[in-house]
Amino acid sequence: MTQQRIYNFNAGPAALPLKVLQEIQTSFLNFDNSGMSITEISHRSSFFENVINDSVARAKRLLNLDDRFHVLFIQGGASMQFAMIPMNFLSEDDSADFVNTGSWSTKAINEAKIQNKNYNVVASSEDKNFSYIPNDIQFSNNVKYVHLTSNNTIKGTQFHEFPDTKGVPIICDMSSDIFSRPLDMEKFGMIYAGAQKNLGPSGTCMVIIRQDMLDMANETIPTMLRYSTYSSKNSMYNTPPCFGIYTIDLVLKWIEEEMGGLEKIEEFNKEKAGLLYDFMNSTSFYNATAREDSQSLMNVTFRLPSEDLEKSFVAKAMEKGLGGLKGHRSVGGCRASIYNAATMEGINALIEFMDTFAKENK
């Protein structure tokens, strides 16, 4: 017998909307009357072409993107982007600004360093263990781009507003909060996100890039590492991650048609996270690790009075069907990842459990 589905608070791969999973299940053996599964269909067929074109169109509609923007699917996860960005945009005399808000930003910076590129870390929250988002950042003159991580999955912090970079394009790692809220895309030259949190299964990274960024990208690097390879071939220079793109298409359809778009999903995300933070503020047993003005709506990180209690909390929660509450292995503590697909029912069940656990262990 299959085990019942749990409330899944994993950070990534993470919960997907049930409706999407059911749709995949229903059409898995015979996609769109093709007589084949989506995993068996040629990426050159009209069946798959419809899927990729639909997901690009949905992404553009959701973010109100005009024709300057290209939506690409690139393998290698968000981590590959850390390397591709400096490789494509920084030639010998160029430089970029980075804001360091945690281990993912640090990894992005390291990839520029490995390639001997010029860069400046113009702000960092390392002094306080990455528990906040820096503000009043002084950016450099004449840099090609500013790199930010919009949501710090491990430390539970998030940019609630993006800084004014005086026209310098922002390149932003949005792996853990893409499509969780509306965006003013005029600020961004490129955004990217590993799919496995808010978009679909791991194995593909969505990249949204503006034409002027493509125009200045390096064309002398290996083919598979050039953005133009993907933009000129509709992400199908080679065999793309078809199943991932198909799932992303269904998730974007769910956001558009079931959830009512990004304004609505932002309201929903604020409501869910608000309930959890408010509950934690009402008790001294749970302490949020991120500074209040920087708290993430996607990853709620918190500590209990002792590590033993944290261990017991995670184990007892699992017994109650609440999974994935252990903090990232590099920082410990607890974390509830509540991406777009997290349900209100799940949030209420978590708060109820937290309340009972606190009372029993005071």
Q: Which residues bind ligand PLP (CB under 6 A)?
A: 12, 77-79, 104, 149, 153, 173, 175-176, 194
Provide the token pair at 211: 């034409």
Q: Coil, helix or strand for 171?
A: strand
Residues 79 and 97: their CA atoms lie apart, in Å, by 18
Using CA atoms, how far residue 146 sits from 97, 182, 256, in Å, is: 5, 20, 30
Q: Coil, helix or strand for 185?
A: helix
Q: Coil, helix or strand for 27?
A: helix
**Contact, 245 vs 71, CB < 8 A?**
no
Active-site residue 270, yes or no? no
Q: Coil, helix or strand for 11?
A: coil
Among 97, 173, 177, 249, which one carries the catalytic annotation? 173
What minimum distance in Å lies between the beta carbon of 153 and ligand PLP? Answer: 3
Active-site residue 104, yes or no? yes
What minimum distance in Å lies between the beta carbon of 104 and ligand PLP? Answer: 4
* C-beta closer to ligand PLP: residue 205 or 354: 205
What minimum distance in Å lies between the beta carbon of 257 and ligand PLP? Answer: 27
What minimum distance in Å lies between the beta carbon of 74 and ligand PLP? Answer: 10
Residues 13 and 305: their CA atoms lie apart, in Å, by 28
Active-site residue 67, yes or no? no
Residues 337 and 299: their CA atoms lie apart, in Å, by 4
* C-beta closer to ligand PLP: residue 169 or 201: 201
**Contact, 160 vs 175, CB < 8 A?**
no
Helix axes 344-361 and 262-281, enclosed angle (nearest 10): 10
Residues 272 and 108: their CA atoms lie apart, in Å, by 30
Among 155, 187, 197, 326, which one carries the catalytic annotation? 197
What minimum distance in Å lies between the beta carbon of 194 and ligand PLP? Answer: 3
- Which amino acids are annotated catalytic? 104, 173, 197
